Amino acid sequence: MDAALLLRALSFASVKHRNQRRKDAESSPYINHPIAVASVLSAECAVADGQLLVAAILHDTVEDTETTFDELTEHFGAAVTELVRELTDDKSLPKEERKRLQIEHAHSASPGAKQLKIADKICNIRDILANPPAGWSLQRRREYLEWASRVVDACRGVNPCLERAFDAALSQARQSITSNP
């Protein structure tokens, strides 16, 4: 793995996301999310693919900042950019259409993109459990869990460790939401 490239990606993403906050009640810094996604891949599931880890750090930059795919290619290469492209929603579409397309496109995603999607959903579910988005009702949280489950179901078969981690997070979140109405 190219540590220098990973550190450049961390620096790049931290600048791009510097003014963004997560939706939780504490409004935690957004950069914590891509770091958590890369950590799930590397520390929890021993993914050592440097390009995949760099893409994990950068996966929301185009979707949520003014970053372009050309800019990513210039700084991080075509392979990383293509992974990020596979995870980037078209924000010009209505939310429900974007969610539907995530499920639909997950089946044909590359193995790297599938792993990244699973890690992203693991982190989102853990965040919903530990620090739910402010103003999200139990019903909205349940709907997110069911949708995330459908996305991950379409990604299965690429990394058993990630799948187990997702299943554990989903089970824990479902139990918590059911037992704490």
Q: Is the dihedral of CA 167, 172, 175, 177 positive or negative?
A: negative
Q: Which of 24, 44, 49, 63 is catalytic?
A: 63
Residue 115 maps to which CATH number?
1.10.3210.10
- How high is the pLDDT of residue 180? 63
Task: Tell me the percentage of the chain whose pLDDT exceeds 90.
Answer: 88
* pLDDT for residue 179: 73
How many domains in the chain? Answer: 1
Using CA atoms, how far residue 137 sits from 72, 94, 177, 180, in Å, is 36, 21, 10, 12
pTM equals 0.95
Give me the mean pLDDT over the 68-92 stretch.
96
Predicted confidence at residue 25, as pLDDT, reads 83
25 or 120, which is more confident? 120
Range of the domain at 141: 3-179
Residue 67 carries which DSSP code? -
The pLDDT assigned to 181 comes to 52
Q: What is the chain's mean pLDDT, rounded? A: 95
Residue 63 is a catalytic residue: yes
Distance CA 67, CA 9 (A): 13
Catalytic residue among 44, 49, 64, 71: 64
64 is catalytic: yes
Category of 159 on φ-ψ map: left (φ > 0), alpha (ψ -120 to 50) or beta: beta
Q: Say yes or no to pLDDT of 148 above 70.
A: yes
